[in-house]
Amino acid sequence: MYRLGIDLGGTNIVAGVVNEKYEIVATAKCKTNCPRPAKEIIDDMAACALEAVKKAGFTLKDIDAAGVGAPGAIDPVGGEVIFSNNLDFYNVKMTEMLKESTGIDFFIENDANAAAYGEFVAGAGKGTNNCVMITLGTGVGGGIIINGRLYSGSNYAGAELGHTVICLEGETCNCGRQGCFETYASATALIRQTKQAMIRYPESIMWDMCNGDIKNVSGRTAFDAMRKNDEAGKAVVDKYIYYLAMGLANVINIFQPDVLCIGGGVSKEGDNLIVPVSKIVAGENYGRNVALKTEIKTATLGNDAGIIGAAYICDLYR
C-alpha cells in the first residue's frame, strides 16, 4: 500500500505519493495564494492530493494513509490548525474538511515536526531514538523526537527552538522578543549580515558577485566569497557559524539527542558549515566528557522531508 503526504506552505502546496521504502513516486503542486479563505486553500490541497494519486497511476483505494504538515500551532488529535500566522488560520478543522473533499481520513502535524519525522524515519535520524531537526530558512524551525515520539508540548506550540534567546537585549525578532536564535542564525539573518558587511567593506568582491546591487544578496553570497578568500565574506561566515553554534549548543544541552540534523537552504553548505559548527559546539556541550555525544549532521531528504513525514505521521496517532 501507498501513503499520501501534503506539505502546506505559505507559498506552495505540494502533495506526494510515498511508497513503503519512503520513496516519493509522484507529486503535484500549486500555489497557496495567501491570504484567502481556508476552504479555498483546503480545496486546492485536496485537488493536489488527487492529482498526485492519479499521476502515480493509482486510485484512492490504493492509499493506506494520508497526512498534512502545516505551519502554526497544530492539534494532531483534533485534526485542527489552532493558529497559523503564515496562513491567517484560526481553529480550522483541516482533517475534517479534507475528508469531505476526498473521502479519505487525514492526519495532521506542524510542518517542522513533519519534516523532522521524515528525517527520523528515512533520513539523517534513521535508526535513532532521539533526534532534533533544525531548519535554517526564513526563520529557524525545530522538530523534536523523544523516544520515537514527536514532542509538541501540552498546548501543541512546543519546539519553537528558533525563539530561544542567544543574545540578551539583541536584535528584535518578529515574535516580539529580543535576541532570538532565529534573528541571528536563519537564512534571513545571514542575508542581513552579508548586506551589512558589504556596506562596511565596499571593496569586498561580494559587490561584484551581486552585480553591484545589494538586492541580489543570497544566503550563498558570503560563503561563495569566503571560498574566494574575501576577508569580508569570511568574517560574515565566521560570525554566522558562531551564532548558529551557540544556538545548537543550547538545544543539545537541553535534549542531548542521538542526532541533531540541520536542514534548510543554508545546510547545503555541507562540511563548510557542519565541521566548524561541530568544533565550536564540542566546547560548549555540557556532555562533552560523556562517551556518547550528539552527532551534528546535514539533513538528507531536502524538500522531500515534509512530504515523507506527513505521509507517515499516522503511525503516531492511529
Domain boundaries, the chain: 2-120+304-317, 128-298
User: What count of Cα atoms within 13 Å lies in the side-chain half-sphere of residue 130?
Assistant: 12
φ, ψ of residue 67 to 5 degrees: the values are -145, 165
Q: Tell me what pLDDT residue 197 has.
A: 98
Q: Report how far Cα 18 is from the mean position of its chain's Cα atoms.
A: 19
Same fold, 2-120+304-317 and 128-298: yes
Nearest to 257 by CA among 150, 170, 101: 150
Instruction: Return d(Cα 263, Cα 278) in angstroms, integer.
Output: 15
CATH class given for the domain over 2-120+304-317: alpha beta
CATH class given for the domain over 128-298: alpha beta
Q: Tell me what pLDDT residue 188 has.
A: 93
Task: Give pTM, 2 decimals.
Answer: 0.90
Q: Tell me what pLDDT residue 222 has.
A: 98
Q: pLDDT tens, position by position, for the chain (318 residues)?
A: 899 999 998 889 999 999 999 999 999 999 999 889 999 999 999 999 999 999 999 999 999 999 999 988 899 999 999 998 778 899 999 999 999 999 999 999 999 999 999 999 999 999 999 999 999 988 898 999 999 999 988 888 888 899 999 999 999 998 889 999 999 999 999 999 999 999 999 999 999 999 999 999 999 999 999 999 999 999 999 999 999 999 999 999 999 999 999 998 899 999 999 999 999 999 998 888 888 899 999 999 998 999 999 999 999 988
Q: What does 49-92 look like in DSSP terms, one character per residue? A: HHHHHHHTT--GGGEEEEEEEESSEEETTTTEEEEETTTTEEEE
Residue 10 is which amino acid?
A: G
